[in-house]
């Protein structure tokens, strides 16, 4: 008799960059969406340098290293923004 032993392990990378948003912008999410060229290449470089970590990388992970609101556990990729120094942000 033969038995197959199987395992599925999930790893993720987490990266972040800071973006300078002009003063007076009322809808930060809209500005970031329309001006992704200001951060997309830097984000690509940052995620390429990041190390793989075990788990989904969401708040529900016991070993989640970030304090952000990454919580879309059914998504393969998730983008958020957080306003530095304030408790404000959202998904992109």
pLDDT digits (tens, 9 = 90+) for 81-91: 888 887 778 77
pLDDT digits (tens, 9 = 90+) for 27-71: 999 999 999 999 999 999 999 999 998 877 766 554 454 555 666
Q: What pLDDT score was predicted for residue 72?
A: 66
Distances (CA, A) of 8 to 21, 27, 55, 85: 41, 41, 11, 38
Averaged pLDDT for residues 16-23: 92
Q: To which residue do tokens 């959202």 refer?
A: 90
């Amino acid at each position: 008799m033969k038995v197959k032993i199987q395992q599925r392990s999930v790893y993720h990378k987490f990266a972040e960059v800071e973006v300078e948003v002009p003063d007076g912008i009322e809808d930060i999410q809209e500005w970031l969406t329309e001006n992704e060229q200001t951060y997309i290449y830097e984000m690509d470089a940052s995620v390429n340098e990041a190390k793989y970590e075990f788990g989904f990388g969401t708040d529900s992970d016991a070993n989640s290293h970030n304090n952000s609101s990454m919580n879309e556990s059914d998504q393969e990729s998730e983008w958020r923004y957080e306003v530095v120094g304030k408790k404000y942000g959202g998904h992109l």
